Amino acid sequence: MNRLKDKVALVTGGGSGLGRAQAICMAEEGARVVVTDVNDAGGEQTLAQVQAAGGQARYLHQDVRDEDRWQQVIEDTLSHWGHLDVVVNNAGIGVGGTVEDTSLENWRHLMGINLDAVFLGTKHGIRAMKATGGGSIINLSSIEGLVGDPNLAAYNASKGGVRLLTKSAALHCAKAGYGIRVNSVHPGYIETPMVTKAMAGDNGDLVRAHLESLHPLGRLGQPNEIAWGVVFLASDESGFMTGSELVIDGGYTAQ
C-alpha cells in the first residue's frame, strides 16, 4: 500500500481507460495524483473514485497540446503539493488509415496529441523534477511503436516517435545527473473505451475474436494490467531502469 508513499504523480488522459486505472492504482499505493483531461466529466469521475477509495487527488482541465497549459498545470501542482515526482504521458487517440489514405489534417491532429504532447510533458516534467531531486517520467507508447501495421500509418509513426523520444530524454537526464528516469510502456490491445468502440456494431463479436486471436494469451488485456506496470516504473523498485521499454502485450510482439 505504500510503494508510492509521499510521491506526487500527474496523469494525462486520466478521465477514462488506462489513465483512470493508473490514477487509481497509484493512489492505492500512496501517491497524491493530479488527473488531467479535456473530458471534465470523466476526470471528475476518476477523482471521485480515487477519493472514495481513500486516496488523494485533484482534477485539472488540460489540453495536452497547449504548452502554456502544461506550465500552468505543473506550476499549480508545485504550488499545491510542493513537488512533482512522476509524470505519466498517457493521453492519446487512435486514427486508422494507410499511408495513402491518411489526410494531412488527421496526421497532424493525431501527432499533436500522441507525440507533441508527450514531448511537452517530458520537457516540462524534467524542468520541474530536476529542481526537486529527480523523478520518473513514463510515456505510453504501444505495440504499434514496436511493429508496423499497414492500416495504422499515423499511429505507428506517433508511437514509434514516443519510443525514441523516451530514449533520447532518458540519456539526456542520465548524462546531466538529474536523477530522472524516463521509460516507455507498450500495451497490446487493452479493453478500454478506445478499443471497445472498435468492437461495437453488428460485427462486434467477430472483431473481438480477431483482436483476441492476435495475442498468444488468447484475450485482451485489462487496464489494471497496464496500470500496475506504470506503478512499478513510478516506484523506486525500478530505480535501475531508464530508456527502457516495458512491453505488456499478451505475447503480441513475441511472434
CB within 8 Å of 136: residues ≥ 6 apart: 85, 86, 87, 180, 181, 182, 183, 233, 234, 238
- List C-alpha distances in Å: 163 to 91, 139, 169: 15, 8, 10
Please indicate whether residue 252 is annotated as part of the active site. Answer: no
Per-residue DSSP letters for 31-61?
A: -EEEEEES-HHHHHHHHHHHHHTT-EEEEEE
Q: Is 184 exposed, middle or buried (0-12, 13-18, 19+ CB in 10 A)?
A: buried
Helical segments of the chain, H only: 17-28, 40-52, 67-81, 104-111, 117-129, 153-176, 193-198, 204-213, 223-234
- The answer to whether the beta carbons of residues 62 and 38 sit under 8 Å apart is yes
Q: At what angle do helices 223-234 and 17-28 cross, to 10 degrees?
A: 50
218 or 132: which carries more pLDDT confidence?
Answer: 218
222 closest CA partner among 202, 255, 196: 196
Q: What is the pLDDT of residues 47-83, one digit of tens each?
A: 999 999 899 999 999 999 999 999 999 999 999 999 9
Alpha carbon distance 21, 227 (integer Å) = 6
What is the pLDDT at residue 122? 98
1-5, 150-154, 177-181: least confident range: 1-5
Confirm if 36 and 88 have CB atoms less than 8 A apart.
no
Q: Express each pLDDT in 186-240 by its tens digit.
A: 999 999 887 887 787 778 889 899 999 999 999 999 999 999 999 999 999 999 9
**What integer pLDDT is reported at residue 201 of this predicted model?**
77
| Tally of CB atoms within 10 A around 205 | 10
Q: Which of 59, 155, 189, 252 is catalytic?
A: 155
Q: What is the pLDDT of residues 78-106, one digit of tens each?
A: 999 999 999 999 999 999 999 999 999 99
* C-alpha pair distances (Å), 130 with each of 114, 133, 177, 181: 24, 6, 9, 11
Taking the alpha carbons of 202, 205, 208, 209 in that order, is the dihedral positive or negative? negative
